[in-house]
Amino acid sequence: MSVTEFAGVAEDQDRGVTPRAGLYEFWTAEDAHVYLHDTDFRRLTYQPGRPPVLELEFVYDPQWTPPELSGTPAVVFRFEDVRLVEWCEDQEGHDCVATHPDAPHGQVSCFDWDGSDLFVLDTFTLRLAFRAPRVVVTVHAK
């Protein structure tokens, strides 16, 4: 069983990515605190090439952006050599967003990592499970 390699995250075991917190909360290599509960899931891009790549983008609301990320409030995860396990969209969630524009369609409830190479992302409208041996985390301006 392979263990995912992380780039762009703190190497300290108390501040980096751990199976206990997954990618839901951690610090970047530049010591910026990433807490996905305070972000909106904005974009998913899947490129089925060789190797397959999955990019996920989360953006902080201005009132919840940590000071160290004020100039770069977008957090991007680039997963390499991805194998999709599950992609499930919640129709009730989509219906709610359609009838209530202020519904939290991009709200992240969890982004788990099993300690090897399996990731599970749950948002208001999406559940995504996949395997990836490498992930690169970057932050940038919107």
What pLDDT, on the 0 to 100 scale, is given for residue 96?
52
What average pLDDT does this structure show over 70-87? Answer: 95
What pLDDT, on the 0 to 100 scale, is given for residue 19?
85
Domain definitions of the chain by residue range = 5-140
Percent of the chain with pLDDT over 70: 87
Which amino acid, residue 5? Answer: E
> Residue 5's beta-bridge partner residues?
134
- The encoded tokens of residue 130 equal 């996949």
Q: How confident is the model at residue 124 (pLDDT cuts 50, 70, 90)?
A: confident
Quote the mean pLDDT of the chain. 87
Nearest to 122 by CA among 134, 136, 106, 133: 106
pLDDT (tens digit per residue) in 59-76? 998 888 999 999 999 999
* Contact in structure between 135 and 77 (CB atoms under 8 Å): yes
DSSP secondary structure code for residue 141 in this structure: -
Longest dimension (CA), the chain: 44
What average pLDDT does this structure show over 83-105? Answer: 68
Q: How confident is the model at residue 12 (pLDDT cuts 50, 70, 90)?
A: confident
Q: How far apart are CA 17 and CA 134, in angstroms?
A: 13
| Phi, psi angle pair for 37, to nearest 5° | -60, -30
Q: How confident is the model at residue 9 (pLDDT cuts 50, 70, 90)?
A: very high
- The encoded tokens of residue 26 equal 């951690």
Q: How confident is the model at residue 98 (pLDDT cuts 50, 70, 90)?
A: low
Q: How far apart are CA 89 and CA 44, in angstroms?
A: 13
